[in-house]
């Protein structure tokens, strides 16, 4: 007989949802604590859990966890650029943008950071991606780059040569992939977000 936790798969769920799977158990909150103590559940934050992959046999998607840990949010910046294979460095911090206040969470899966952005800027250039049946919301490469530019303190690029050095040497971005970027998403970000001049410099470099 399958364990009822199999129903949850690898999706983050609340304590109340887990407790509802054990209607015949008195003290269902204690049941959740017992499952955590036994290692079947991993706590992501207070009241939010995920089934341990050693028990479920399902790989945990840190991108999906990031979406659930603090929502609404989407994965972005270095994390997204690395996910697309556009930068060579490993990224050990899961970076996201949110409509809420900026926050940082740490749990057994790692460190998750969130930066608050404006309501008009937030929905530009988002995608739903799927890996092994698990779907999550992530910035397009163009939006991830804009987020990185807009929310990196002191980064101002007035000239195309500066922009090229930043992309090629500092970020080590795949420039062949960059030349395929959708300029329309960059234009939308320039119109709705911060550092309009810097993003427009990136657009000029892309379109030259």
Whether residue 95 contacts residue 113, with contact meaning beta carbons closer than 8 Å, is answered with: yes
> Shortest CA distance to 185 belongs to which of 127, 115, 113?
127
What digits encode the pLDDT tens for the residues 107-137? 999 999 999 999 999 999 999 999 988 999 9
Please tell me the number of Cα atoms within 13 Å of 3 on its side-chain side. Answer: 12
pLDDT for 138? 98
Q: Which residues contact 117 (CB under 8 A, 6 or more apart)?
A: 97, 98, 99, 147, 150, 151, 193
pLDDT for 26? 66
166 by Cβ neighbours in 10 Å (0-12 / 13-18 / 19+) ranks as buried
pLDDT for 21? 85
* Prior bond of 159 cis (ω within 30°): no
Arithmetic mean of pLDDT, 101-107:
98
- Distance from C-alpha of 112 to C-alpha of 153, rounded to nearest angstrom: 19
CATH topology of domain 62-207: Beta Polymerase; domain 2 (3.30.460)
Q: List C-alpha distances in Å: 148 to 76, 97, 112.
A: 8, 10, 16
pLDDT for 23? 77
What digits encode the pLDDT tens for the residues 135-182? 999 999 999 999 999 999 999 999 999 999 999 999 999 999 999 999
CB atoms within 10 A of CB 92: 10
Confidence of residue 22 (pLDDT cuts 50, 70, 90): confident
Reading the block at residue 200, the tokens are 């427009």
Statement: residue 78 has pLDDT above 80? yes
What residue spans define the domains of the chain? 4-56, 62-207
pLDDT for 1? 34
**Mean pLDDT score of the chain:** 94
- Could you tell me which residue, 99 or 58, shows the higher pLDDT? 99
Reading the block at residue 50, the tokens are 């995920």
Whether residue 74 contacts residue 138, with contact meaning beta carbons closer than 8 Å, is answered with: yes
pLDDT for 56? 87
């Amino acid at each position: 007989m399958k364990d009822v936790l199999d129903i949850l798969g690898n999706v983050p769920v609340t304590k109340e949802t887990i407790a509802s799977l054990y209607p015949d158990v008195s003290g269902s909150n204690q049941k959740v604590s017992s499952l955590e103590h036994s290692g079947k559940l991993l706590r992501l934050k207070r009241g939010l859990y995920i089934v341990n992959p050693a028990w479920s046999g399902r790989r945990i998607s840190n991108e999906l966890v990031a979406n659930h840990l603090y929502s609404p949010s989407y994965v972005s910046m270095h994390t997204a650029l690395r996910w697309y294979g556009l930068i060579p460095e490993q990224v050990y911090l899961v970076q996201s943008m949110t409509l809420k206040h900026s926050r940082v969470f740490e749990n057994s899966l790692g460190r998750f950071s969130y930066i608050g952005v404006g309501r008009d800027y937030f929905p530009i250039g988002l995608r739903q991606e799927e890996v092994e049946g698990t779907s999550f919301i992530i910035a397009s490469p163009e939006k991830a780059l804009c987020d990185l530019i807009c929310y990196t303190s002191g980064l101002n690029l007035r000239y195309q040569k500066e922009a090229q050095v930043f992309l090629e040497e500092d970020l080590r971005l795949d420039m062949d992939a960059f030349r395929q970027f959708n300029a329309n998403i960059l234009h939308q970000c320039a119109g709705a977000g911060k550092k309009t001049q810097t993003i427009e410099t990136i657009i000029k470099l892309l379109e030259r």
